[in-house]
Each structure stands twice: as structure tokens, then as C-alpha cells.
């Protein structure tokens, strides 16, 4: 059953991440975080909680982006086979692929830690300011 195996391989990491998040959420609902822990440790625990939520969201953005890029590539291929113009669709594909690259870079930066995320944000702001004067219509 290659289709089932492909789906399993494609969605398993995301499903595992969602399951871990759900387990953490259920534990937080059931057990209160002790206020008796040292403040520094409490702060670290809160940072870890936010970081794993950010990672889960980033992973879902990457997965959704990959699906969109794959569908757009298929559309361009089908239209070319029919002899139709694909200019607008290829432009959209480039935008989708660039956005996916940004999502992947963001997910990697989150996995590396806060310093890498800050560098990525600064880099993206510089790129955005470079595009500010362009007419993208």
C-alpha cells in the first residue's frame, strides 16, 4: 500500500508533534505548575512551553506550504500539457516556493534557539525593505 506508506511518512512527524502538544496541554489542565519552584526554573519552563508551541505552528506552516507548492507545480504541468499559458501560475508558484523557503528557514531557526530566530527576523526585515519599492502586480 504505497499510498498509505507515503501518507504515513509525510504526516507522521507532524502528527507526533501535535500529539506531544496535546499531551502537554492535558497535563497542564490537570496539574497546576507549582509556584514553589525557583523563579528561574519557572521562567525556563514557560519558555520551553512557548517554544514548543511555536515549533508546532512552524511545522504546520511548512507542511501546508509544501502541499500548496506541490499542487501549484501539478497545475502548471497540467496546463503546459494542454498548451495553455502558465505565466501567472508560474509567478504564483515562485511566490509560494519563496514563502515555503521562509517557513523552512524559520522552523530551522526555532529549532536552533532564540539567537538564530532573532537573526532570521532581522534578515527577513532587510529583505522586505529591499522589496518595498517594487510593484508586484
CA–CA gap between residue 101 and residue 112 (Å, rounded) = 17
For the stretch 7-53, pLDDT in tens is: 555 556 667 777 777 777 776 777 666 556 566 666 666 666 677 77
Q: Is the pLDDT of residue 127 over 80?
A: no
CA–CA gap between residue 51 and residue 47 (Å, rounded) = 6
Domain ranges of the chain: 2-131
Amino acid at each position: 500500500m504505497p499510498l498509505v506508506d507515503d501518507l504515513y511518512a509525510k504526516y507522521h512527524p507532524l502528527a507526533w508533534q501535535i500529539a506531544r502538544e496535546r499531551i502537554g496541554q492535558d497535563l497542564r489542565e490537570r496539574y497546576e505548575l507549582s509556584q514553589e519552584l525557583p523563579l528561574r526554573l519557572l521562567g525556563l519552563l514557560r519558555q520551553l512551553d512557548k517554544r514548543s508551541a511555536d515549533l508546532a505552528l512552524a511545522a504546520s506552516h511548512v507542511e501546508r506550504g509544501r502541499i500548496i507548492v506541490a499542487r501549484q507545480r501539478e497545475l502548471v504541468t497540467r496546463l503546459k500539457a494542454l498548451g495553455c499559458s502558465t505565466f501567472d501560475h508560474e509567478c504564483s508558484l515562485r511566490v509560494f516556493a519563496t514563502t515555503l523557503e521562509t517557513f523552512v528557514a524559520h522552523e530551522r531557526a526555532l529549532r536552533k534557539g532564540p539567537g538564530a530566530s532573532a537573526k532570521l527576523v532581522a534578515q527577513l526585515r532587510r529583505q522586505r525593505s529591499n522589496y518595498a519599492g517594487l510593484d508586484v502586480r
